[in-house]
Amino acid sequence: MKEAKEKKLHNLFFDLSFSEHMNQKELYSLANQLSRSLSSVKFSKNPFALHFSSYNGEIKKIMNELKCTKWIAYFYEEDLAQIKDLPKNLFYLSPDADELLETFDETTSFIIGGLVDRTVTSCVSLNKAKSCGIKAVRLPLNTGAIKVICFNQL
């Protein structure tokens, strides 16, 4: 994370602790979406420093098959709550959060719950944010629209 601070990059964390909520097809979908996200970030004028927490178990196996370890990113086997030196201005993006994300600056970092959930289970990422003591916010999407989006659409 020190390198990200020196380059003044936004930190974008993907919380991969939701494997037990997904079947094999959803895990592969998650890994593919993360791969597309990396491509988008890599060619962005304002790139993020990518971090993957709970990089273990089945999702690690699948991402290794897709050669994800060659990505320029930070990989942590630990759960998000166990990572030392998390950025101070950190928000967990959750479609179920009460508070709307209205503004952010160069010191803001984000967490996205790594969950491909075809059945749309409510409050999973919100509950995770609360359990980690991290403020949850939602994106300013049309309230009448579907609240769930793919990672590469963010």
List phi, psi (to 5°) of 39. Answer: -60, -40
Average pLDDT value over all residues in the chain? 84
Is the Cβ–Cβ distance between 61 and 32 less than 8 Å? no
What is the pLDDT at residue 153? 47
Q: How far, in Å, are 80, 81, 124 from residue 131 at the CA level?
A: 10, 8, 11
Tokens, residue 67: 């050669």
The DSSP call for residue 71 is: S
Centroid of chain to Cα 118:
17
Q: Give residue-wise pLDDT tens across range 61-111.
A: 999 988 877 778 899 999 999 999 899 899 999 989 999 998 888 889 999
Active-site residue list: 117
Q: Which residue has the tokens 């990396």?
A: 38
In this structure, which topology does domain 2-153 adopt according to CATH?
A: Alpha/beta knot (3.40.1280)
Look up the pTM and report it.
0.84
Find, among 113, 34, 21, the residue nearest to 69 by Cα: 34
**Both tokens assigned to 118:** 């075809």
Q: Residue 30: its pLDDT value, please?
A: 93
Domain map of the chain by residue range?
2-153
Q: Torsions phi, psi of 4, nearest 5?
A: -65, -40
